Amino acid sequence: MKKLSKKIIATVLGASIGICSALPAFAESAQPAETLESSYVKAIVDSVAERYRFNADKELMYEAVIDYVIGENPELLEGAIAAATSGLDQFSGYMDRETLSGFGDYISQNYVGIGVEITREPGYLEVAGVMMGSPAEAAGFKVGDKIIAIDGEDATGFSVDMAASKVRGEKGTQVAITVLRDGQKITLVANRDAVSASTLHYAKLEHCGYIKISQFNASTPMELEKALAYFDNHGTKKLIFDVRDNPGGELLGLLRCLYQLVPQDKLLTSIDYNGEDQDISYYSKAKFKTTDRKIVVLINKNSASAAELFAGAIRYNGLGVLMGERSHGKGTVQEFMGLRSMGGLKLGDIKLTVAEYSLPNGEFIHKKGLEPDIPIENKLLPLVSEDFKPITFEAKFKLGDSGESILAIKQRLDALGYQVGEVNDVFDKELELATYSFQQDAGLYPYGVMDITTQNFLNNVADKAKVLKDLQLDAAVAYFKEKAVK
């Protein structure tokens, strides 16, 4: 094919020499060869095909050009594929192997660690969750373990982020964590490996349960099963699902979540491909035919793709209402084409939009989004300084101190979003960590002592600050509270 390519290219060039007078635009071009655009080649091919005495197959001529260029410069293949797909929609295009690997990690929420969820409690760090099949489970970690040291370093004063950075590391290495369990110190050694970050968090609120889903992946259905079991054990049937800022994720992970919420055989979504014979509809495989759960789904402009499918399936199967803002409107399905590597060139893959999905009512929402049943916007509101105790600026405070001024400091830091633990009048480890973080953010010397300069800065920030008030969540809680009263 390479010899044939050269022959046709030579013919094209020869023809161009003989027709310069008929193609003044070609002849006048003074561009160097390396900057010639595809339009120039196209014009030559079109002219040759038009003037050639016999039948000239333009498609074969273009193929010959491509074969010649790629044959001479194989490394251009990736660039050619990327260029060929660059004019498609924003969700389609070529990914090289490195980008493809990163995309897989993003979808699966993979990181290298041991698979524990850590929370900060007053005075210590605690293991709040152990992922199934994780290195942490194999090493013997249990929920409720109090973390004392990480690799021999005292961890009692660590923030959650500090602890996480110590626990994570290179795959295949080990980390030794000393915990306090039933009054005894135990050192557990875990092998770091790729694990999936949690995509779901839940909490018991007044009159209802709250479930935040940040993304749908393979582990989300198991996390949801755990959350639903918790609420069932507490007799909580009214649930708030928060899929705000959820960009979507895996279709299978989403469907397996819906199987736990939507009664058997109810339509969840339909996928519409170019060919009708490929179209497919997904129905719930739940084991139950009715449900007594009542649901509110919180959505916003960043709720996209699988998050919108989730919201639509809940709404149009009569299980709940949507609150918040119009969703993003990403209603397309992407698949990877499975490119084969050519010779010694390791190719990535093309992510291609192949279909659109519709909601159970038959609605296509691409570029439209879902309008909530109850529209509510969150607002930036100033802090109410009258709710705070006054700061007296009479002394600097450090770990172990107490007094009303410390309560005033905690109130302000808490309102600004810093984790201070219990809002009381004690300067504990939580306040020391919060002070350190505030000083870092403010550009002050960070050392965890609430000196006069830091107090003044904090007071000024709190006086001028506006915080994003979550009116959407407040409305969802109030919705169930009113239902409870009725």
CATH number at 208 reads 3.90.226.10
Structural contact between residues 345 and 97, judged by C-beta atoms closer than 8 angstroms: no
Last residue of a domain, one of 310, 341, 375: 375
Going by C-alpha positions, the residue among 257, 296, 244, 265 that lies closest to residue 360 is 265
What amino acid occupies position 431? Answer: L
Which one-letter DSSP state was computed for residue 264?
A: T
Q: Are residues 208 and 282 in the same domain?
A: yes
399 in the same domain as 278: no
Bridge partners of 55, per DSSP, are none
What CA–CA distance (Å, rounded) separates 356 from 247?
16
Does 343 share its domain with 414? no
Tell me how far apart the alpha carbons of residues 174 and 48 are, in angstroms, rounded to a whole number. Answer: 68
Pair (462, 413) in one structural domain: yes
The number of domains in the chain is 4
Are 364 and 388 members of one domain? no
pLDDT score, position 31: 46
Judge contact between 253 and 218, C-beta under 8 A.
yes
Q: Is residue 403 part of a domain?
A: yes
Domain that holds residue 59: 2-73
Task: Indicate the pTM of the whole model.
Answer: 0.69
- Amino acid, single-letter form, for residue 378: N
**Within-domain flag for 475:** no
Inside any domain, residue 86: no
Q: Where are the alpha helices (DSSP H) in 35-158?
A: 38-51, 58-72, 76-85, 97-108, 135-139
Q: Collapsing DSSP states into helix, strand and coil, what is residue 131?
A: coil
| 225 vs 221: CA distance, rounded Å | 6
In which residue ranges of the chain is pLDDT below 70?
1-37, 102-111, 132, 276, 342-344, 483-486
Task: In the chain, count H helices and then E strands.
Answer: 15, 21
Token pair, residue 150, equals 């990480």
Q: Which residue has the tokens 């309008």?
A: 371
Q: What pLDDT digit, counting tens, does each position of 8-18 carry?
A: 333 333 333 33
- In a domain? residue 82: no
Q: What is the pLDDT, as a whole number, of residue 482?
A: 77
Among 375, 400, 415, the domain-final residue is: 375
Domain CATH number, residue 119: 2.30.42.10
Burial class (CB in 10 A: 0-12, 13-18, 19+), 1: exposed
- Is 46 inside a domain boundary? yes
Tell me the average pLDDT of the chain.
Answer: 84
Same domain, 252 and 279: yes
Q: Are 302 and 243 in contact (CB under 8 A)?
A: no
Instruction: Find out whether 447 and 397 touch, Cβ atoms under 8 Å.
Output: no
Cα 254 to Cα 262: distance, rounded to the nearest angstrom: 12
Amino acid at 249: G
CB of 204 closer than 8 Å to CB of 240: no
Contact by Cβ (8 Å): 310, 260: no
Q: Give the pLDDT of residue 105.
A: 63
* DSSP per residue, 322-356: EEES------EEEEE--PPPBTTB---EEEEEEEE
**341 within a domain of the structure (yes/no):** yes
Nearest to 478 by CA among 238, 273, 252, 251: 238
Pairing verdict, β 174-181 and 184-191: antiparallel
pLDDT at residue 370, rounded to an integer: 96
Pair 335, 269 in one domain: yes
Q: Round to whole Å and give the CA distance between 131 and 453.
A: 44
Calpha distance 182→160 (Å, rounded) = 22
Residue 322 sits in the same domain as residue 446: no
User: Is 227 found in the same domain as 192?
Assistant: no
Q: Is 420 helix (H, G, I), strand (E, B) or coil?
A: coil
Q: 179 and 241: one domain?
A: no
Flag whether 407 is in a domain. yes
CATH code (residue 462): 1.10.101.10
Is the same domain home to 386 and 344?
Answer: no
Are residues 149 and 174 both part of a single domain? yes
Question: Among residues 310, 343, 375, which one ends one of the domains?
Answer: 375
Is residue 103 assigned to a domain? Answer: no
